């Protein structure tokens, strides 16, 4: 006792560093002999509400200050056996010191092998750690410059992958560089994907949205424990891409999540995208079809059916889960469950029943090409493209056979409108122009226009919205040039991949990465990407408003130009989005209300007239 009193006095007068408090905690918890063993290896100990956590210190060649990383901290019980398909349960407390020095398992999924294991364009998105249903872990990167007594802003990454794939363990998601260069704490969280995370049978054994509840439980753990790592639980920003961004936008809409964070960054994903959610009826139908197709689990009793599915090996479930057809038709996705997602996302937005906070969001120039090369294999590949007018028309029919028409009656007229809107009238058999037209149609319908609509609805209720449009193709991009600026290309700029000391990126890439990192971090710290106290960026990012609709084009050639107006645009693609958001719904409504007063010929004339006057 006398030793402890003397040590307290020494701390008060500055003879010892404040970090010695950690020694006292560990000393009392695990004893002297274990304490000596831990400290002799230079490990780092943090005392959380779940127990003691051991981290590891990384020294980065391009950064002066080291990073303390805590990798693979469990936040929920392993969702295995009877917990498969169910909502997560808290992990509880562990005994002793939890060793959080390695990246955790990746949630079970089927790796992408379409282009072979050696093609970096696709293999870069494959899990790098063991596949397992025991996968509910999070990672924390803390810059050594973070004072223990000062709370730092926190950025929480949620990965994408169409809700059927994704992991925190990808190289591009490594939070070390972002944390080290910004003095911000970076966290990444895992959630179940595919049937494991989103099988829906409207029953407690398979209620749906388990993956979203995984995320919610991780956010609850972060909110309770991030202070022990030097983080501010009242200054948390969620950021994610694709399905990760969709997830975050659903946290914005869900009454269960509102208190868990303060700001959101949505990269190429919002809740109102056509592929982002489904109804309970459709989700249950898919779930039953999946059960029958997988292992003939054909039972009318849902509990018996789920018990049957729980006996199926994980790899068989993953292999058989793609039961849907068509581009962007992911089989297991979030569902309107009346709990996490109370009603249709657009209705929540229109009513203003969302979290009122600043958001930053945007889309990429060629969002669709990544999906087109997988879907249109007869015409598009890594070495060449072939897209005649006939190919173009057939491709359009394939790409939109499920959307955006409500029934068979309207299908031919909607398809005729889409083909007319995007047709290349000057050179009908030009492979490049026809492929670009397909990319434009799918990008605008599935990504760009929903992002615009989300921003519009959010800003219309007075929220601060910042929109970007990402247009820079990075210098080492392994995908063919015709694919342009792909879905997901902005991620490496945000995480600082180009800033690694041995990275072989161009100076323009490094410049843009520094600028984007600054914008993202400024927004996370203050809610404004333009500044932190006393520091301003070189290019002001205007607020997106319902009238002006201004966005910032993220491209080094514009952001570095003395004429700052070149980087600011309006929209993007306002006219094209009016086609999807206004014209097509009106067309469906008009045709759907007709019984038989028009022949197809007369309807075609009507469609042509409507398009002509809409676009001129």
Q: Which residues are catalytic?
A: 242, 367, 487
Euclidean distance between CA atoms 136 and 218, whole angstroms: 8
CB atoms within 10 A of CB 18: 11
> 558 and 567 in contact (C-beta within 8 Å)?
yes
Phi, psi of 311 (to 5 degrees): -85, -10
Kindly state the tokens that stand for 541. Answer: 């990012």
The closest of 203, 224, 233, 234 to 335, measured between CA atoms, is: 203
Euclidean distance between CA atoms 331 and 194, whole angstroms: 7
For the chain, what is the total number of helices (H) and then of strands (E)? 23, 19
Report strand pairing: 531-532 vs 231-241.
Answer: unpaired
> 280 and 202 in contact (C-beta within 8 Å)?
yes
For residue 70, the cross-strand partners are 140
Query: SS3 for 232?
Result: strand
> 304 and 206 in contact (C-beta within 8 Å)?
no
- The DSSP element (H or E) to which 217 belongs, if any, is helix 210-225
Query: SS3 for 301?
Result: coil
For residue 239, the cross-strand partners are 157, 265
Give every CB contact of residue 170 below 8 A, 6+ residues apart in sequence: 124, 125, 127, 128, 159
For residue 362, the cross-strand partners are 267, 468
> 67 and 101 in contact (C-beta within 8 Å)?
no
3-state helix, strand, coil in the chain (%, to 5): 40, 15, 40
The closest of 587, 275, 577, 579 to 453, measured between CA atoms, is: 577
Phi, psi of 302 (to 5 degrees): -60, -40
């Amino acid at each position: 006792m006398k030793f402890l009193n003397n040590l307290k006095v020494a701390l008060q007068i500055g003879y010892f560093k404040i970090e010695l408090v950690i020694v006292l905690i560990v000393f009392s918890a695990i004893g002297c002999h274990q304490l000596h063993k831990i400290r002799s290896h230079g490990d780092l100990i943090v005392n959380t509400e779940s127990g003691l956590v051991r981290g590891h210190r990384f020294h980065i060649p391009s950064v002066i200050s080291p990073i303390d990383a805590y990798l693979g901290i469990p936040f929920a019980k392993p969702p295995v056996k009877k917990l498969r398909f169910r909502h997560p349960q808290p992990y509880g407390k562990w005994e002793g010191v939890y060793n959080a020095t390695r990246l955790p398992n990746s949630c079970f999924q089927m790796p992408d092998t379409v282009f072979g294991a050696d093609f970096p364009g696709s293999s870069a998105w494959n899990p790098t750690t063991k596949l397992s249903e025991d996968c509910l872990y999070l990672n924390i990167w803390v810059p050594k410059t973070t004072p223990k007594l000062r709370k730092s802003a926190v950025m929480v990454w949620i990965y994408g992958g169409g809700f059927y794939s994704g992991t925190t363990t990808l190289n591009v998601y490594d939070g070390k560089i972002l944390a080290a260069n910004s003095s911000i704490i970076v966290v990444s969280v895992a959630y179940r994907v595919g049937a494991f995370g989103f099988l829906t049978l409207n029953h407690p054994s398979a209620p749906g949205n388990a993956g979203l509840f995984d995320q919610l439980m991780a956010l609850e753990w972060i909110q309770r424990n991030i202070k022990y790592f030097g983080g501010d639980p009242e200054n948390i920003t969620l950021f994610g891409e694709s399905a990760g961004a969709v997830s975050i936008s659903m946290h914005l809409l869900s009454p269960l999540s509102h208190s868990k964070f303060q700001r959101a960054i949505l990269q190429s994903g919002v809740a109102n995208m056509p592929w982002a959610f489904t109804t309970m009826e459709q989700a249950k139908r898919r779930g039953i079809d999946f059960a029958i197709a997988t292992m003939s689990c054909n039972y009318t009793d849902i509990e018996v059916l789920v018990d049957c599915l729980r006996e199926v090996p994980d790899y068989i479930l993953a292999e058989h889960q793609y039961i849907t057809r068509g581009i962007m038709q992911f089989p297991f996705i979030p569902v309107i469950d009346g709990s996490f997602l109370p009603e249709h996302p657009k209705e929540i937005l229109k009513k203003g029943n969302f979290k009122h906070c600043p958001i930053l969001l945007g889309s990429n120039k060629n969002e669709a090409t990544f999906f087109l090369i997988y879907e249109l294999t007869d015409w598009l590949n890594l070495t060449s493209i072939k897209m005649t007018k006939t190919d173009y028309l057939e491709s359009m029919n394939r790409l939109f056979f499920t959307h955006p028409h409500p029934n068979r009656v309207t299908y031919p007229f909607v398809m005729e409108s889409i083909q007319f809107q995007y047709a290349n009238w000057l050179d009908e058999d030009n492979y490049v122009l026809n492929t670009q037209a397909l990319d434009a149609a799918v990008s605008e319908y599935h990504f760009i226009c929903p992002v615009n609509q989300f921003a519009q609805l959010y800003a219309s209720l007075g929220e601060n919205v910042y929109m970007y449009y990402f247009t820079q193709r990075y210098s080492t991009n392994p995908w063919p040039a015709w694919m342009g600026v792909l879905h997901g290309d902005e991620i490496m700029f945000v995480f600082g991949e180009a800033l690694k000391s041995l990275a072989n990126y161009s100076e323009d890439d490094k410049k843009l990465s520094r600028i984007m990192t600054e914008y993202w971090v400024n927004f996370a710290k203050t809610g404004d990407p333009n500044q932190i106290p006393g520091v301003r960026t070189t290019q002001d990012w205007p607020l997106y408003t319902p009238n002006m609709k201004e966005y910032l084009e993220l491209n080094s050639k514009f952001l570095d130009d003395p004429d700052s107006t070149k980087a600011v645009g309006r929209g993007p693609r306002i006219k094209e989005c009016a086609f999807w958001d206004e014209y097509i719904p009106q067309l469906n409504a008009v045709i759907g209300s007709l019984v038989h007063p028009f022949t197809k010929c007369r309807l075609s004339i009507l469609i042509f007239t409507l398009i002509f006057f809409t676009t001129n």
